[in-house]
């Protein structure tokens, strides 16, 4: 069913396409146009052009046919009139003949004698026939009858008795015709001749009578007899009307009387098949009626058979009393056969012409549409995606031009397609690469987010933890000072201190990769940094480090400590990966990073450091996690090493990535922003490094003490232990719980002329003025104030960039006495 439907649709579509094709449309258009033109021309030729003298063949033919039939009718009428004239002439000749008159007189006299002698009946007429006059009369009448062949009979009746006294038919002698119109009308005064049609006395048949009186020659012209000529119209007139041609095959001449009753037999049976009877059948068709009523003309009508005919009708006036109608007709089909033939010829010629035109148009259309079809087929191929085609149309006309343009277009499309293909491939590669980078960046971001979240947590923990460690350290330090130096407790306490600083290291690492721990950057040589770090980290191991470093161009802006931590971690990891020893190859180079390098760093100059080991390698599944905090495959690993490394590098606006293959080794690539300084310069003493002439000269340590120090600390135990340590270190110490007290003491010290040499202040004072606000106030009081900031919250930005906030030194809790002393001395001495 579906197939049928599909086939039907396909056929319908093909048909539609065919009718929409140029060739079909040209054929239909020109064929129709020509056909219409032919129809118009044909109709014009056939029926004429309205409002012009050209009336057309049909009218002309019809006119000619009508004129022809009219002419025939005139001829028939003239013939009939002439014939009638002859017949009347015959009657006149007989009636006016002296011999006839004499014979009639003689015969009448003889008859009267016979009557007088008592001879009547058949004997009378037998005797009459023997009369010389009778024989003469009959001879003359027969002569007339035979010569002209137009009479059925001729008779002479006695004017006084009305009896037939002479006749071409002897048997009717003695017949009384007194009551016959043609007899007594002929005897009317002034009337010489009667012509009429009437039934014969003795038969049903009717005759045309021409009766004429035979008169005496005297002045009174008294009637002697009447001569009557009998003519059967059907016997004599009809053949005459149908001779002479002009009527054609279907033509017919019909004679009717004044009532339109037929006087001559019809050629055809009536519509009902019967035969029309003479003088009974009345013609009701228009021509006959008109002719009978005295009209003459021509018309197109329908005859007694119901056939369309062209007819000419004539009125034949025989006497003032007697008139006949003559209808000469011929079938329209025959009369207009010429026009019919013309029509057929025209139709055949027209059809032939239309076919010829359609054929020619087809040829022309083919010539026009063939290249178009070819071009269309080529275009269809192109539409289907086949561009390896070529239009073969090479004509020099518009289509040829179009074809060449088309080919050129295909060529250009091919070229463009190839270009696009190449571009697409490139784009795909770039997209793939970019996608990979984005994935990587996303991973980086995730790592960062992880680190940040861990950092936030770690920072908070580390602050309190460091503070606690500082307190523990303070207590341990205090305990150690109370204990006997030889006591075993000293050793235990020292172990406690080690643990405290191990804990500090742990918190330090936590803080490093956390949000806090901002690097304190200086311009440093990467070469020296790597050498130092390698020698330190690989000291005592069976690993040989091959360093390929540039001379002095690889300068970076970095936190030396954090960088040491980075390289230490990497070298230690390499060492661990190569249990059986081996080479670590390290090289550094200056590179310029551009966008297309697709590195997750800003464009610019970088120092790229590559560390390659030949260790066990990292499985692929671990590669994505090695920079995650607390991810470690080592049993004793903290899981913070590479996380810290990663965090440090990111905080230096750099990038680290790793390639590894299990069993082959691992390669770390580190990108660090290059310093703008081209060469490492010998560090010039900074303001901080320089001796504060003023301070060193004006703020001399009082007495023998190293200096006067103000300690701002809210934790009592720390305050107590640090104060003690400072005093042990020969510093004069005053303490304050929070900032306002510290400011007060600082002002007081200035006022008393014994200003503090340094201020150690905790960054965070719960419920009181912290270090940040206090230093701002102190700097207002004394712009040259020397302050050291301390905090267990080592990731605070102030701790990283203490100089920016006006501090001269920094101590991250927990700190040792030595560290305190060293920092204090540097600050006081202007070496921080």
Partner 1 sequence: MKLKIISVFQIVYLIWQVFIAFPNTGYTESITTASVQDLSRHPIYSTYKFSREEGVVNIGVQPLYSPTGFISEAMKRDAILRKSLSELGMKVKFYAFLKGDDVNFFLRRGDLDVGIGGDMPAITAAATMDVIIPTLVQQGFTSVIANRPMLIGELRGKSIGYAFGSNAHYALLRALSSDGLNEKQVKLIPVEVNEMPEALATGRIDAFSAWEPTAAITLSKYSEVAVIHQYLSSGYMYFQKEFSDKHPEIMRQIIAAEIRSIKWMQNDKQNLLKSSKWSIKAGENLTGNEIPLTLEQNASLARNDILGLSSAPIIPKNDLKQNGPLNREFEFLQKLGKIPSSSSWKNVSASFDRKVTNEVLANQKKYRLNEFNFTFKSVIE
Q: Which residues contact partner 1 (rule: CB under 8 A)?
A: 19, 28, 32, 36, 39-40, 43, 47, 50-51, 63, 66-67, 88, 92, 188-193, 219-221, 258, 286, 290, 293-300, 315, 317, 319-321, 323
Q: Indicate the residue among 187 and 500 with the shorter CB distance to partner 1.
A: 187
Q: Indicate the residue among 192 and 480 with the shorter CB distance to partner 1.
A: 192
Strands 555-558 and 522-525: antiparallel
The Cα 317–Cα 297 span in angstroms is 15
- Give the DSSP letter of residue 796: S
618: Cβ contacts below 8 Å, ≥ 6 apart: 626, 658, 660, 662, 666
| Least distance CB 117 / partner 1 (angstroms) | 36
Q: Indicate the residue among 31 and 248 with the shorter CB distance to partner 1.
A: 31
The Cα 767–Cα 493 span in angstroms is 33
| Least distance CB 332 / partner 1 (angstroms) | 13
Q: Indicate the residue among 357 and 785 with the shorter CB distance to partner 1.
A: 357
Residue showing tokens 């118009």: 40
| Least distance CB 194 / partner 1 (angstroms) | 8
| Least distance CB 220 / partner 1 (angstroms) | 8
The whole-angstrom distance between residue 23's C-alpha and the CA centroid of its chain comes to: 24
| Least distance CB 315 / partner 1 (angstroms) | 5
Paired with 315 in beta bridges are 325
Residue showing tokens 């069913």: 1
| Least distance CB 90 / partner 1 (angstroms) | 13
Laid out side by side, the sheet with 206-215 consists of 164-167, 153-158, 223-231, 206-215, 193-199
| Least distance CB 268 / partner 1 (angstroms) | 24
| Least distance CB 238 / partner 1 (angstroms) | 23
The Cα 18–Cα 21 span in angstroms is 5
| Least distance CB 297 / partner 1 (angstroms) | 4
Contact 221, 244 (CB under 8 A): no
| Least distance CB 14 / partner 1 (angstroms) | 14
Q: Indicate the residue among 174 and 308 with the shorter CB distance to partner 1.
A: 308
Q: Indicate the residue among 44 and 610 with the shorter CB distance to partner 1.
A: 44
Q: Indicate the residue among 69 and 150 with the shorter CB distance to partner 1.
A: 69
Q: Indicate the residue among 296 and 395 with the shorter CB distance to partner 1.
A: 296
Q: Indicate the residue among 298 and 775 with the shorter CB distance to partner 1.
A: 298
3-class state of residue 817 by DSSP: helix
287: Cβ contacts below 8 Å, ≥ 6 apart: 299, 301, 311, 312, 313, 327, 329
- Please, how many CA atoms are within 13 Å of residue 87, restricted to the half-sphere of its CB? 29
The whole-angstrom distance between residue 600's C-alpha and the CA centroid of its chain comes to: 47
Q: Tell me how long the chain is.
A: 832
Going along 46-192, which residue ranges are E strands?
153-158, 164-167
| Least distance CB 80 / partner 1 (angstroms) | 14
Q: Indicate the residue among 62 and 576 with the shorter CB distance to partner 1.
A: 62
The Cα 808–Cα 586 span in angstroms is 37
Q: Indicate the residue among 351 and 401 with the shorter CB distance to partner 1.
A: 351
Region of 267 please: left (phi>0), alpha (psi -120 to 50) or beta: alpha
Phi, psi (rounded to 5 degrees) for 722: -65, -40
| Least distance CB 64 / partner 1 (angstroms) | 9
Paired with 710 in beta bridges are 734, 759
| Least distance CB 188 / partner 1 (angstroms) | 8
Phi, psi (rounded to 5 degrees) for 417: -60, -45
| Least distance CB 430 / partner 1 (angstroms) | 58
Q: Indicate the residue among 188 and 422 with the shorter CB distance to partner 1.
A: 188
| Dihedral sign (CA 650, 653, 654, 655) | positive
426: Cβ contacts below 8 Å, ≥ 6 apart: none
Q: Indicate the residue among 323 and 460 with the shorter CB distance to partner 1.
A: 323
| Least distance CB 278 / partner 1 (angstroms) | 20
| Least distance CB 185 / partner 1 (angstroms) | 10
| Least distance CB 63 / partner 1 (angstroms) | 5
Contact 314, 328 (CB under 8 A): yes
Q: Indicate the residue among 202 and 319 with the shorter CB distance to partner 1.
A: 319
The Cα 537–Cα 570 span in angstroms is 9
Q: Indicate the residue among 66 and 128 with the shorter CB distance to partner 1.
A: 66
| Least distance CB 74 / partner 1 (angstroms) | 10
615, 616, 619, 625 alpha-carbon torsion, rounded to 10°: -50
Q: Indicate the residue among 286 and 699 with the shorter CB distance to partner 1.
A: 286
Which candidate, 352, 336, 477, places its Cα nearest to that of 815? 477
The Cα 806–Cα 464 span in angstroms is 25
Contact 828, 811 (CB under 8 A): no
The Cα 255–Cα 270 span in angstroms is 16
Q: Indicate the residue among 295 and 557 with the shorter CB distance to partner 1.
A: 295
| DSSP labels, 680-723 | PPPPPPPTTTS--HHHHHHSPPSTTSSEEEEEE-S-HHHHHHHH
Phi, psi (rounded to 5 degrees) for 6: -65, -45
- Please, how many CA atoms are within 13 Å of residue 134, restricted to the half-sphere of its CB? 24
The Cα 45–Cα 22 span in angstroms is 33
Residue showing tokens 């990497």: 570
Q: Indicate the residue among 226 and 558 with the shorter CB distance to partner 1.
A: 226
The Cα 622–Cα 745 span in angstroms is 58
């Amino acid at each position: 069913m579906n197939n049928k439907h599909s086939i039907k649709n396909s056929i319908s579509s093909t048909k539609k396409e065919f009718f929409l094709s140029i060739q079909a449309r040209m054929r239909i258009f020109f064929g129709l146009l020509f056909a219409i033109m032919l129809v118009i021309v044909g109709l014009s030729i056939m029926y004429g052009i309205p409002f012009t003298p050209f009336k057309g063949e049909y009218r002309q033919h019809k006119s000619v046919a009508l004129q022809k039939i009219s002419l025939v009718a005139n001829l028939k009428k003239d013939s009939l009139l002439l014939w009638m004239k002859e017949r009347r002439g015959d009657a006149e000749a007989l009636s006016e003949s002296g011999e006839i008159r004499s014979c009639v007189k003689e015969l009448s006299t003889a008859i009267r004698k016979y009557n007088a002698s008592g001879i009547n009946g058949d004997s009378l007429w037998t005797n009459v026939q023997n009369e010389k006059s009778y024989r003469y009369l009959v001879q003359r009448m027969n002569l007339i009858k035979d010569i002209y062949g137009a009479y059925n009979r001729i008779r002479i009746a006695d004017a006084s008795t009305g009896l037939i006294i002479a006749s071409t038919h002897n048997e009717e002698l003695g017949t009384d015709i007194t009551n016959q119109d043609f007899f007594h009308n002929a005897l009317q005064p002034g009337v010489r001749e009667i012509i009429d049609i009437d039934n014969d006395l003795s038969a049903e048949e009717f005759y045309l009578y021409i009766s004429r009186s035979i008169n005496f020659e005297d002045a009174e012209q008294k009637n002697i007899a009447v001569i009557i000529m009998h003519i059967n119209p059907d016997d004599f007139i009809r053949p005459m009307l149908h001779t002479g041609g002009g009527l054609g095959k279907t033509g017919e001449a019909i004679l009717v009387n004044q009532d339109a009753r037929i006087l001559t037999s019809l050629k055809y049976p009536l519509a009902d098949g019967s035969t029309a009877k003479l003088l009974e059948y009345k013609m009701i068709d228009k021509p006959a009626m008109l002719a009978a009523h005295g009209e003459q003309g021509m018309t197109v009508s329908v005859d007694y058979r119901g056939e369309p005919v062209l007819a000419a009708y004539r009125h034949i006036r025989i006497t003032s009393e007697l008139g006949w109608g003559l209808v000469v007709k011929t079938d329209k089909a025959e009369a207009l056969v010429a026009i019919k033939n013309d029509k057929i010829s025209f139709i055949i010629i027209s059809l032939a012409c239309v076919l010829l035109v359609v054929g020619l148009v087809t040829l022309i259309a083919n010539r026009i549409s063939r290249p178009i079809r070819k071009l269309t087929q080529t275009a269809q191929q192109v539409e289907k995606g086949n561009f390896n085609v070529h239009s073969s149309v090479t004509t020099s006309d518009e289509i040829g031009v179009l074809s060449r343009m088309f080919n050129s277009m295909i060529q250009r499309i091919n070229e463009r397609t190839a270009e696009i293909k190449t571009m697409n491939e490139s784009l795909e590669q770039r997209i793939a690469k970019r996608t990979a980078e984005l994935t990587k960046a996303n991973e980086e971001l995730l790592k960062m987010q992880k680190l940040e979240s861990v950092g936030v947590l770690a920072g908070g923990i580390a602050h309190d933890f460091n503070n606690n460690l500082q307190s523990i350290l303070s207590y341990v330090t205090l305990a150690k000072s109370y204990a006997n130096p030889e006591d075993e407790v000293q050793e235990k306490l020292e172990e406690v201190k080690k643990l405290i600083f191990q804990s500090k290291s742990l918190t330090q690492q936590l803080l490093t990769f956390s949000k806090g721990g901002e690097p304190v950057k200086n311009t440093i040589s990467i070469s020296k940094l790597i050498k130092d770090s390698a020698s330190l980290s690989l000291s005592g191991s069976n690993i040989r480090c091959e360093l390929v470093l540039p001379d002095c161009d690889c300068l970076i802006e970095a936190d030396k400590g954090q960088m040491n931590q980075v390289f230490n971690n990497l070298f230690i990891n390499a060492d661990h990966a190569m249990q059986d020893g081996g080479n670590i190859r390290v090289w550094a180079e200056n590179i310029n990073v551009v966008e297309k390098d697709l590195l997750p760093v800003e464009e610019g100059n970088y120092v790229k450091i590559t560390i390659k080991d030949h260790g066990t390698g990292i499985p692929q599944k671990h590669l994505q996690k090695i920079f995650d905090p607390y991810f470690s495959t080592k049993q004793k690993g903290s899981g913070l090493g590479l996380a810290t490394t990663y965090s440090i590098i990111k905080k230096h606006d750099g990038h680290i990535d790793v390639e590894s293959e299990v069993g082959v080794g691992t390669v770390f690539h580190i990108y660090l922003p290059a310093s703008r300084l081209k060469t490492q310069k010998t560090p010039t003493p900074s303001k901080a490094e320089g001796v504060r002439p003023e301070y060193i000269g004006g703020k001399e340590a009082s007495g023998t003490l190293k200096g006067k120090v103000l300690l701002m600390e809210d934790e009592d135990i720390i305050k107590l232990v640090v104060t003690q340590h400072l005093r042990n270190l020969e510093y004069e110490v005053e303490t304050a719980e929070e900032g306002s007290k510290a400011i007060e003491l600082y002002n007081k010290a200035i006022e008393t002329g014994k200003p503090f040499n340094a201020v150690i202040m905790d960054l965070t004072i719960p419920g009181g003025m912290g270090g940040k606000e206090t230093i701002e106030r102190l700097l207002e009081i004394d712009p040259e104030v020397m302050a050291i900031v301390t905090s267990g919250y080592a990731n605070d930005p102030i701790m990283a960039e203490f100089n920016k906030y006006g501090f001269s030194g920094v101590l991250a809790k927990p700190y040792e006495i030595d560290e305190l002393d060293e920092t204090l001395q540097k600050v006081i001495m202007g070496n921080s």
